[in-house]
Structure 1
């Protein structure tokens, strides 16, 4: 089903006027053709004495008599040889400076003063920006002399057809091929200069010239060849001594002629000239872009219906010449199945591209329509409304004045003058008081602002140290190990997380960070919170402790030198979770946990920050070795969730308040929220240096003649502390390491803001308690 406003694409050629009316299908993919028109002139426009202007006006009047174009957009084409197209690659600059660079390039590229031309520009598809900087941006500049534009628009102005866009015919062909023929979508894909898609050559033969367009969807190159359909006709008139009309008829029915061979031999020089021009143009293009790969040639225009021309091009050019049998993305059976449309289908490609531009589906949307025409049209359209508005305003003013004069005349009494003068004096005094009050309030606000600025600087210096202290407080510690000492437990049994780097990035719009992927990862944090709360209700720890029996077996096995038993499939899943689903094994089995009144509903938290919220995204990169079999399910990512993530989610830290006394501040009050594991890996077995290892040394007896019953120099190898080499620790130990990246959202919450939030919470709690007490008294009275 077609929706939206319809667009007419009109192409005025030397032999006919072609028009196509289209709307966009509701799915946004198909273009629905609703009507078309093909009006052939009695004589070609280039024929001597034909009266080109009169023939065009008559054709447009006939078009208007057949079709209703009211409320429809109209886009027209102008010949490519009358315009100018230049392309240049802009340097990496801010996007807002592109316009200045284009204006400078236009002065260099256009060989006329800019006030004498109509020009427009557009970045080519495939360009991209990074942080507001335009990279690899190729820009096309399109221009045409002002007098030629008005000469092309004059037939439309004479027939009262309002034109909405003017486009060069080669650019219309590019829009048609980019939308209908190419396998890539230049509007949705990025351009890779090192790996270009194949290029298509569009050869559009007109009456006097042939437009040649080469494009891969992201780049376009066009040239006008001085050979057209009339050159074949003129060759026949010259070789066979025929009139122009008879030669034109013979050209169109060459295969049906009595001596077809003679006809084709007469036209062979033009065939050869056309092939030579195309080969020269393609060769020149390949010298400009050596990485371009031409895959096929698409012939366009009624001139290509000359019998034998398309096979001749395919044979002599060496490329695959594809003859169009229909438009791939154009539907509307009333048009596409019409015999007239199918017979002249090759000549509607330009109209197809114009309709795409009018429907805002084209790759290039520049327009050479003069601005003065648009202004005149807007003024003409708004003039009736302006006259009506002025008349209505005048009538309203007159009516209002009549009412006011009547009221004034009825209320006018000289006895009131003394009272009114006293009222004016009081009003003047009141105004002076109001002005003085406003001045003092302004001074007060300035002083308050200065105070906030002074206090704010002190508070802002505390923000990042407080954040670092909160991160440190969120890391797990061994309560049995005093501060400053190293645990003697095996490294895989230590409750330890190592943070290797801390990075941060400011987001003016936090919703850009909170994507669907982040939302899914945060849902894992909420599920793990439920599981932890359930364990705490059952008297268990938030982070399950090491299984001492398994740990003892592992230590004994390591002491005996025996390899540790390989984990079964089930054990490996518990010890090495590598995905969100595996990490939630314990959380999925828990029942619903009732929330306290002070806690936030997880569904509200899962909604995430809105577009109006700003803040920092902090990323912690780290690792841990808590991945042995004795850790069971509390390993890998789950260990990070049970410790660091859980503390960032619902933990607290001791900070200094405004009275310079320590107080407990929750992570929520500090502005920390939505902690997730951004990068989740699988624990990998690695070798690390053994801190207990000491290098071997030779015993003192090894330097002498040897002990009793030993050969000289046969002393034992011993380490630095005198133990035998057999009892020495190995230099390397094998452990499993889990590497992770944790991200969380941090909104800067200064001390004064925290205190204000607490006072508001206490006030709200007191009001709620008072309301609950009044309600209880009413119930008791009842």
Structure 2
């Protein structure tokens, strides 16, 4: 096998490795190099020219001829969307259909603008399938592809950084028992990866080591390049009981580093709690540090103090042979931030790994050819006919002029007949297009309900499993990763910071959805099970799922297509489709049951503020009217006692595009 390249197009660094595969299936790391992309790599702009420039310089410097070489490449975490789903255990083809339906609601961009794929990671205790979804925007895929193709590189695999890291861990630490956590601290993104046997879960936190540089530059007055250079030379994480440096710049730097790492520790702790409670995972027994951000001095000691767990730096070349041309001493100091290169290299020789490949699909090209094949065949036939007639004329003219004249008349007669056939075919094609347009309207009407449900799911996912409680002004806000950004936004909008910002856990279920306004009853304090969008055991944000332990749950039924008891398609207590009017529906009513949040955070108006936050989010959605009189809360039992677990309320939603119940042309 020929040598090949592994390319990690990270946020702040471009990492390239040259691997030599062996006949026995092993790999040899022949060469590697890390090139800084500086501030240009962190910008949210097209990086094609930057990557091509840095790759060309690297190849020239090392006398590597990339033309014709195969390569595996991975996109950085900040450009990679990952999501874990649970689907019913059905046949393989049906799993793809379910995942595509879920992807349409989970991926924050239209699927036709993304390259995406999925992997079945295992089976949950409930019998459901654990599925990992990964997606890249088309412009990211195009940028990486163009940068490589322009240099003559043949791309074989386009992966995402999280999947590549998982593959590197599984190859090098397969013997480790129990639950391990791989903490990959990058420049813009931190990946918190849990590996437990064959189980795998990841959450990406949207800040990393570059936050230290940015905040230090802001406080010290240095530009970004100066701040980054100073951080690498003098930076460390300030530990408890450690004296503050005498140098003023260094004092600002180490204090900033500790603040950022403290925020990161909080995010990691929340992720561990979510992994245990929602994914059924165990507490990590070992933490491995990866990524360039973990190279800052005392990072390992800081997390060892916070988590009270064994900490060691990740070695992605533990079970990969290192070639003679590689400086092993240097590699031992920075191997922990080369995990993606190891994972990409293993894709060429090892089976049983996470095998995402988000290169542009050949099926799309085939589909375009198939759509136009009728016109292409007709055009080729006509052109071929002309050449055929011309060839016949030339042959007959070479024989005798008189015979050629008779043949020409015969050919013209045939052409006239074919012209009539083509004319008839054109008429039939027009009728087929008209019929196709009617069918397209019918399909659009059918999938309108899916889009409507996706729209409602998208709004509900923003208000659970928790929201911010803002004091002065008294209101609730959707949760974000950065409280400081929320406070800054309030200062811009209101001219002052809020008095206080805390958070509270929430839960919400759909009781019914229909064209008629439902009635409200006060929720009880107990219950069992929960039915949200499609039933229980959904992740927070899906509009369904089991209530927290000890919190009780809503009465059975009430989900979209759920068991009897409410909702579109329910047999009782809801609004059945069979009684819906045939006139277009422009207003629907959504009856919701939400967790009483006055109990943990005593403020009498919290339940009403929760419903007002939902009002605001629905008005911001493109499928619903932004008018306060059209999209609003119409009724609700907000003032419930603190010992009552739930409260009900009704939202009136004015649709921007009415639901067409009957199309006369289709009849």
TM-score class normalised by the smaller sequence:
0.3 to 0.5
Instruction: Judging by fraction of residues, say which structure has more helix.
Output: 1
Larger Rg: 1
TM-score by length of 1: 0.41
TM-score by length of 2: 0.48
